[in-house]
Amino acid sequence: MREKEGKNDAEWRRAQGSETRGEGEVSSAFRTAHGFHLLKLTDRKLGDITPPEKAEKKITKRLKMMKVGSATREYVGVLKQKATIKMYF
């Protein structure tokens, strides 16, 4: 990561400091790679707590997807090694 990006990330996190900001307050201007920004806190909402059963299902699904993706990449690599590939350009 470049130093400038790290600084922008820190600026973004600082400007998002909604814990100390009251409703209706506006952050000071800050710059990221996408331009200048202002943040205004308009509302506060409490977060949800995911039940363990639902979290377990999501985690299991994600792990299976990762495993299938890894196996697929490995299989394609084996096929590429066995194949005779000619490139014309």
SS3 30: strand
Range of the domain at 56: 48-89
Same domain assignment for residues 52 and 89: yes
| Shared-domain flag, residues 54 and 89 | yes
In DSSP terms, 32 is beta-bridged to 35
Q: Whole-prediction pTM value?
A: 0.42
Question: How many domains does the structure of the chain reveal?
Answer: 2
Q: Kindly state whether residue 43 falls inside one of the protein's structural domains.
A: no
Q: Is 39 exposed, middle or buried (0-12, 13-18, 19+ CB in 10 A)?
A: middle
Which pLDDT does position 73 carry in this prediction? 96
Please tell me whether residues 52 and 75 are part of one structural domain: yes
Structure tokens at 35: 């331009």
* Residues 29, 57 share a domain: no
Q: What is the pLDDT of residues 48-63, one digit of tens each?
A: 888 999 999 999 999 9
In a domain, 69, yes or no: yes
11 found inside a domain = yes
